[in-house]
Amino acid sequence: MAVDLQELTKQALEEIARADSLDQLERVRLRYLARHGGLISGAGARLRELPADQRAAYGRDFNAASGAVHEAAERRREELSSAELERQAGEEWVDMSHPGSPLSRGHAHPVAQLVREIEDIFSYLGYQSVSGPELEDDLHNFQLLNMPPEHPARDAHDTFYLAAPAAGWLYRTHTSPVQMRAMLTSKPPLRIIVPGKVARRDNPDPTHNPVFHQVEGLCVDSGVTVGDLKGTLEYALRALFGRDRRVRLRASFFPYTEPSLEADVACGVCQGSGCRSCLNKGWVEILGSGMVHPQVLRNGGIDPDRFSGFAFGMGPDRIAVLRYGMADVRDLYENDLRLLERF
Tens digit of each residue's pLDDT (9 = 90 or more) over 210-245:
888 999 999 999 999 999 999 999 889 888 888 877
Which of the pair, 328 or 23, is modelled with greater confidence? 23
- Give me Rg for the CA atoms of the chain: 39
| Residues composing the chain | 343
What percent of the chain shows pLDDT beyond 90?
A: 32
Q: What is the pTM of this model?
A: 0.64
Whether the per-residue pLDDT at 300 is higher than 90: the answer is yes
**Can you tell me the distance from the alpha carbon of 208 to that of 329, in angstroms, rounded to the nearest whole number?**
7
Q: How confident is the model at residue 1 (pLDDT cuts 50, 70, 90)?
A: very low
pLDDT at 104: 76
Query: Is residue 154 over pLDDT 90?
Result: no
CATH of 110-340, one of 3.70.10.10, 3.30.930.10, 3.40.470.10, 3.40.50.970: 3.30.930.10
Peptide bond into 99 cis (omega under 30): no
Whether 19 has a pLDDT exceeding 50, the answer reads: yes
The pairing of beta strand 190-199 with beta strand 128-129:
parallel
According to the model, what pLDDT value does residue 164 have? 72
Dump pLDDT digits (tens) for 20-65. 888 888 888 888 888 777 787 777 777 777 787 777 887 788 788 8
Alpha helices in the chain (DSSP H): 2-18, 22-33, 39-43, 52-91, 110-123, 138-141, 176-185, 226-241, 294-299, 316-324, 337-340
Q: What is the pLDDT of residues 234-291, one digit of tens each?
A: 889 888 888 877 888 899 998 899 999 998 888 767 777 778 767 778 887 889 999 9
List of residues 6+ apart from 47 with CB closer than 8 A: 55, 58, 59, 62
